[in-house]
Structure 1
Amino acid sequence: MNIKIIGVGKLKEKYFKAGIAEYAKRLGRFCKFEIVEVPDEKAPESLSQAEMDEVMAKEGQRILGKIKDREYVYALAIEGKERSSEAFAAEMQQLTTYGHSDITFVIGGSLGLSKDVMQRSNSQISFGKFTLPHQLMRLVLSEQIYRAFMINEGSPYHK
């Protein structure tokens, strides 16, 4: 099984890098886990809607260039479906049971994800109405993926 997180922008903070590295190490026994970074576009505060759409479109093309046809894609989006950790674990298990061995999660930049990326996604997932920094979201997502494997294994980690 291959699990990939595509994120816009570079991970800068050492403590996020350390946390993600720890979960990547733990996930190594379950899957091939990788994080792919695509460059972000400069987005000053005062952009028109058309300029914001252009920024998202450029980032979106970079994201889509990292996704293969066979990959099952989750787009992280506030308007996506919220799941419990148990429901997410069951969904991951079901995907692998039905032949989806390449699962990709996409975290957009500061403006979100383009329509093209949302259309390419097979499912949208939300971690609630909070807006979180994308660097923190990578860490939270890495932990939840690990938690899903632990739930499916019947491990006490989840308690």
Structure 2
Amino acid sequence: MNIKIICVGKIKEKFYKQAIGEYLKRLTVFSKVEIVEVNDEKAPEDLSYKELSDVKEKEGERILSKIKDDSLVITLEIGGREMDSLDFADLIKDEMVNGFGRDLVFVIGGSNGLGENVLKRSDKSLSFGKMTYPHQLMRVILTEQIYRAFMIINNRTYHK
């Protein structure tokens, strides 16, 4: 199974890159995990609802262009389903067993969130809680949780 994490924007901070790199390196024994960055849409702070929607739709088009038709798409959203690490491991394991080789795609939106076009394409939505995190930090959290899931699936010890 291939896992793809599609993100809006680039990471500039070295410490985020190092943390993500460490988890990606650890994951190589379990699965191919790829991070795909799409450009964010430049936008001023004081956008109207329509302008904000247009920005998210343009970013959404970039995201959707990176997703195969048969992929299982999980969007990260504040209003998504919350689960613990065991449930998350079960989700990944189920896809490994029943996904018929399709890609598992996680989508992290930009600072403005995800467009309706991406939300409509989403098969599942996942929340890491009600708090708002910088989207760069969410990449670290998500890669760590994917690594933790594979450790759980393979009955390997990992700190709690």
TM range (shorter): over 0.9
Q: Structure 1 residues 100, 126: closer, same or farther in 2, change over 3 A? A: farther
The letter for the 1-side match of 2:134 is P
For the residues of structure 2 that align with 1:91 and 1:107, how far apart are their CA atoms?
A: 18
Gaps (5+ residues) in structure 2?
none
Q: Spell out the pairing of 1:106-145 with structure 2 (5 A cutoff).
A: 106-145=107-146
Aligned-residue identity in percent: 57
For the residues of structure 1 that align with 2:61 and 2:100, how far apart are their CA atoms?
A: 23
Q: CA RMSD in A?
A: 0.9
Q: Structure 1 residues 100, 46: closer, same or farther in 2, change over 3 A? A: farther
For the residues of structure 2 that align with 1:100 and 1:113, how far apart are their CA atoms?
A: 28
Q: Structure 1 residues 117, 79: closer, same or farther in 2, change over 3 A? A: same
Cα deviation code 1:16-57 (max 9, x no counterpart): 000000000000001111100000011211010000000000
Cα deviation code 1:96-155 (max 9, x no counterpart): 111253101000011100111011011000001111111000000000000000011111
For the residues of structure 1 that align with 2:71 and 2:145, how far apart are their CA atoms?
A: 19
Aligned to 2:47: 47
Give me the TM-score of the superposition, normalised by structure 2.
0.97
Tell me the matched-pair count.
159
Q: Structure 1 residues 100, 119: closer, same or farther in 2, change over 3 A? A: farther
Stretches of 4+ aligned residues off by more than 4 angstroms: none
Gaps (5+ residues) in structure 1?
none
Q: Structure 1 residues 74, 103: closer, same or farther in 2, change over 3 A? A: same
For the residues of structure 2 that align with 1:98 and 1:34, how far apart are their CA atoms?
A: 21
Q: Spell out the pairing of 1:1-159 with structure 2 (5 A cutoff).
A: 1-101=1-101, 102-159=103-160
**Contact kept? 1:89, 1:149, Cα under 8 Å:** yes
**Contact kept? 1:40, 1:109, Cα under 8 Å:** yes
**Contact kept? 1:72, 1:100, Cα under 8 Å:** no
